Chains A and B, each alone.
Chain A
Amino acid sequence: MSTTIPIGPFHPVLEEPEYITLQVEGETVVSADIELGRIHRGMELLAEEKTFDQDVFLVERICGICSASHSWTATLAMEDIAGITVPDRARYLRTIVHELERLHSHMLWVGLAGHIIGYWTVFMWGWKYREPVLDALEAITGNRNNYAWYCPGGVRRDVPDDIWPPIVKAMDEFAEKTNLLIDVILNDPVILCRLKGVGILSKEDAIAYGVLGPTARGSGVDIDVRRDESYGAYDEVDWKVIVQPDGDCLAVGVVRLLEMIEATKIIKQCIKKLPKGEIRNEVREIPRGEGIGHIEAPRGECFHFIRSNGTNMPERHKMRAPTFLNIPSYRPRVKGETISDATLIFAVIDPCYSCTERMAAIDSDGSRVANGHDLIKLSHQRTEWLRKNL
């Protein structure tokens, strides 16, 4: 006989509201379900009511941790429509901020994972080492989060040369501290038994579920937009894609930890090679047309589609964040694990529900019912019904 355990919607493990139901037999999880929708803010419609310039600020606020990723993706899509190129200096500056964001996002996950397995030392360490990254971001962009750094055609502000030496130093220290953390995590028997072999996602499942980012790379799927369809300055610096074959929680953690080391390398090389010159090409108009942008956000591929009708507002702005594809992968992962591991398994993809809350209505037979036409039809039906019955 199975029992249902409800978790949420407000619980101390993850910061965001979501409602998880676990079906358990004894201590073993038989199945799990997740209910979302509490952070749906109507982003896509709001984006259509703002100008292209304002849109960049809006998409930054889809998710606080990926604010650089979303705004870069949106500007890439706009540049795609207008056929604008970006000055070299801007490409490098964009890459630096994006990699700094990856550093703080991954470090945040490491800390949270420590918190979830009850290892507060790791939480405190992780969050302590994360602060210099935020300081670096503040020095470059002016804010700790929500940087307002990207704009169609380039970046918004130039930075003086004398801010780089402290940042390079901070990166060296960060890499050193990350190596220390890697040592601690890989050699601590307590952490190993909480992570190793827990929540395995096989390579086949990873491909079948279409997972992205570190979740996929932790299961041995070798994908990374930064290398596969390079953008920014990634093809001009030396770095490598981290892949781990095991698919368990430890493998995903190791991917994130090693990626941080790679990110510090990318940042240092970018700072060294940083070209001089313009930071922004002028954008006079966004013509009629369609464009896409996709980049490798800390959690996986982030994708934006924009259709412009020649006015100064987008006609359609579709956003898809990586967590949207990563969430369903908890199903094969959680089966047969214990309750205490379930929270970790839900957190291993580094879920970001505020990124994910786009409209998606699915019929019981699996077919998709709600595209634009269906919604209009539904609203007509509803009006008809109201007229008749009221």
Chain B
Amino acid sequence: MNATKWGFKKSLWVFHLNAGACNNCDIEVLDCLCPKFDIERFGMKLVGSLKHADVLLVSGSVPRRVVPDLIEAYEQLPQPGVVIAIGACACTGGIFKDGYNFAGPVDKHVPVAAYVPGCPPRPEAIIGAVVKLLGKL
């Protein structure tokens, strides 16, 4: 078992970054915490600081102004760390891809390990994506 595998085996800590999302994706991410879905039973936890995180969940269409912030956030993510793009906006730009302020999608700026499409994806889909990704690592 290599170090990455060992590190990702249990208790993933997640940081959530809103890069120009409409809030729905963010709320569905927070919804994963609530008693109905309760990801904390898997040891997953939303943390307040990037420095504590293993996984960076990025939602939103990445307007121009967020690009430097997004890159800086990725550089601050302790390695090995993975980025998951949440929502149609983060995966492709979705309905905003023709906007003049659109500078994304996320994978144009930082490497993305998994995509969760949907507008917004259901909490089950987000949890499913994290679990599937863990199996692949």
Please state if A127 and B63 are interface contacts (CB–CB under 8 Å).
no
Chain A residues 10-55 with CB under 8 Å of chain B are 10-12, 15-17, 37-43, 45-46, 49
Please state if A127 and B18 are interface contacts (CB–CB under 8 Å).
no
Report the minimal beta-carbon distance from A205 to chain B, rounded to whole angstroms.
28
**Whole-angstrom CA separation of A46 from B61 in the bound complex:** 14
Please state if A65 and B18 are interface contacts (CB–CB under 8 Å).
no
Q: Which residues of A contact B27 (CB under 8 A)?
A: 15, 64-65, 108, 145
Please state if B18 and A41 are interface contacts (CB–CB under 8 Å).
no
Task: Kindly state whether residue B4 has any CB partner on chain A within 8 Å.
Answer: no
**Whole-angstrom CA separation of A352 from B26 in the bound complex:** 12
Interface size on B, residues (CB 8 A): 42
Please state if A40 and B22 are interface contacts (CB–CB under 8 Å).
no
**Whole-angstrom CA separation of A130 from B36 in the bound complex:** 10
Given A10-B73, A41-B101, A49-B98; A64-B23 close (CB under 8 Å): yes
- Which positions in A face B, CB cutoff 8 Å? 9-12, 15-17, 37-43, 45-46, 49, 57-58, 61-65, 67, 108, 111, 124, 127-128, 130-131, 144-146, 352, 354
Given A38-B63, A61-B95, A128-B34; A146-B24 close (CB under 8 Å): yes
Q: Which residues of A contact B42 (CB under 8 A)?
A: none
The 7 A-B residue pairs whose C-beta atoms are closest, nearest first, are: A64-B24, A12-B48, A127-B34, A64-B23, A42-B99, A15-B26, A42-B101
Q: Which residues of B contact A124 (CB under 8 A)?
A: 34-35
Q: Which residues of B contact A352 (CB under 8 A)?
A: 23
Task: Kindly state whether residue B28 has any CB partner on chain A within 8 Å.
Answer: yes
Please state if A37 and B65 are interface contacts (CB–CB under 8 Å).
yes
Q: Which residues of A contact B69 (CB under 8 A)?
A: 9-10, 17, 38
Report the minimal beta-carbon distance from A150 to chain B, rounded to whole angstroms.
16
The chain A residue with its CB closest to the CB of B47 is A12
Please state if A42 and B21 are interface contacts (CB–CB under 8 Å).
no
Given A38-B69, A49-B98, A146-B119; A354-B17 close (CB under 8 Å): no
The chain B residue with its CB closest to the CB of A115 is B30
Q: Which residues of A contact B100 (CB under 8 A)?
A: 42, 45
Q: Which residues of A contact B26 (CB under 8 A)?
A: 15-16, 64
Given A127-B34, A145-B120; A41-B63 close (CB under 8 Å): yes
The chain A residue with its CB closest to the CB of B30 is A15
**Whole-angstrom CA separation of A352 from B23 in the bound complex:** 8
- Which secondary structure dominates chain A's binding surface? loop
Q: Mark B83-122, 1 if CB is under 8 A from A, else 0.
A: 0000000000011101111100000000000000001101
Interface centre among B27, B100, B120 (most CB of A within 10 A): B27
Q: Which residues of A contact B73 (CB under 8 A)?
A: 10
Report the minimal beta-carbon distance from B88 to chain A, rounded to whole angstroms.
10
- Which positions in B face A, CB cutoff 8 Å? 16-28, 30-31, 33-36, 46-50, 60-61, 63, 65-66, 69, 73, 94-96, 98-102, 119-120, 122
Pick 15 A–B contacts, CB within 8 A, sort by A: A12-B48, A15-B16, A39-B20, A39-B66, A41-B20, A41-B101, A42-B101, A46-B95, A58-B95, A62-B22, A64-B27, A64-B120, A124-B34, A127-B31, A127-B33
Please state if A16 and B63 are interface contacts (CB–CB under 8 Å).
no
Q: Which residues of B contact A131 (CB under 8 A)?
A: 31, 34, 36
Given A38-B63, A144-B122, A146-B24; A17-B102 close (CB under 8 Å): no
Q: A37-B65, A38-B65, A41-B99 are in contact. List 15 more A-B contacts (CB 8 A).
A: A17-B69, A38-B20, A38-B63, A39-B18, A39-B60, A40-B63, A41-B63, A42-B101, A42-B102, A61-B22, A61-B96, A63-B23, A111-B34, A145-B120, A146-B119
